[in-house]
Amino acid sequence: MSGICDGRVCIVTGAGRGIGREHALMLAREGASVVVNDLGGEMDGSGRSTGPAQDVVDEIVAAGGRAVVNGDDVSSWDGAERMVRQAIDAFGDLHAVVNNAGILRDRMLTNMTEAEWDAVIQVHLKGTFAPARHAAAYWRERSKAGEEVDGRIINTSSPSGIYGNVGQTNYGAAKAGIAAFTIIAAKELARYGVTVNAIAPAALTRMTENLGMGQADEATKEKMSPRWIAPIVTWLASPDSGSVTGRVFDVSGQAVSVAEGWHRGPTAEPVDDPALVGEIVKGLVADARPNANMSGYDES
């Protein structure tokens, strides 16, 4: 198996099913050795099984590729460190970490429990930070030792995070945090030869089939297949993508685009009288571009 990721060693978290599975399979087809991480849990994070990850590894190996299973919890500090160490021990190096693992516990804000908030923030936000941090430390040590580093961190945000979706204050907050994390980490790690980017995918998986996508017609389902997400992730993991960093890509089977982040909009001189603020703010809002809808376009 050879391609644009020949000789690369990649970790993919949450790779037992859905989008992560497609990432792992395509990376392997393009020549990468892959650590297939998955807890094998339910959508809400409950349960545990290495079966889904093992199935992906078996498929990669049967096709002539190289892959190993990892069952660590991505939000565990020690587990994330073990995952990074496993990649290095198994394949001799590490070139890319694809942070994909996630869960859903959707609820309207007025009904959301503390446990539902904490679980989603833990898996998505800390589960992005911990693997990225341990990988970054490895690459920094290599860079400081005078070795050439060509590292990649590829995170998974969401339209729910960068545009906003009702019923997902926990999930959206975590995914918005991941987008900000991506931009800042890209600035910090450039000196070590590491790029950091993110995708905001839209695809039909078991996590989204209950959000209305499951009732789509067959042509739409094909356009929303998770297989459309893997090509840009595979390219971002390759040596070819070294000039691109600090970006969030809006990706589906219908389009690939760069998500443009917060920019300062209409501006006024400040005042120290709160009675005067109202008219100023109303004018600024009237002149400002509307927030985007879940498709990334202005709400109207």
Active-site residue set: 158, 171, 175
Report phi then psi at 103, rounded to 5: -135, 165
Q: How far is CA 156 from CA 39, 50, 145, in A?
A: 17, 22, 30
**CA atoms in the 13 A half-sphere facing the CB of 193:** 18
From residue 240, alpha-carbon distances to 6, 142, 251 in Å are: 12, 21, 19
The tokens for 3 are 């391609």
Task: Name the CA dihedral angle for 40, 42, 46, 51, rounded to a multiple of 10 degrees.
Answer: -20
Question: What ranges make up the beta strands (E) of the chain?
Answer: 9-12, 33-37, 66-70, 96-98, 151-156, 194-201, 248-251, 256-258
Give the residue among 142, 20, 152, 28 at the shortest CA–CA distance from 96.
Answer: 152
Q: Contact at 8 Å (CB) between 98 and 23?
A: yes
- Of 33, 145, 52, 50, nearest to 94 (Cα)? 33
Helices (H) and strands (E) in the chain, counts: 10, 8
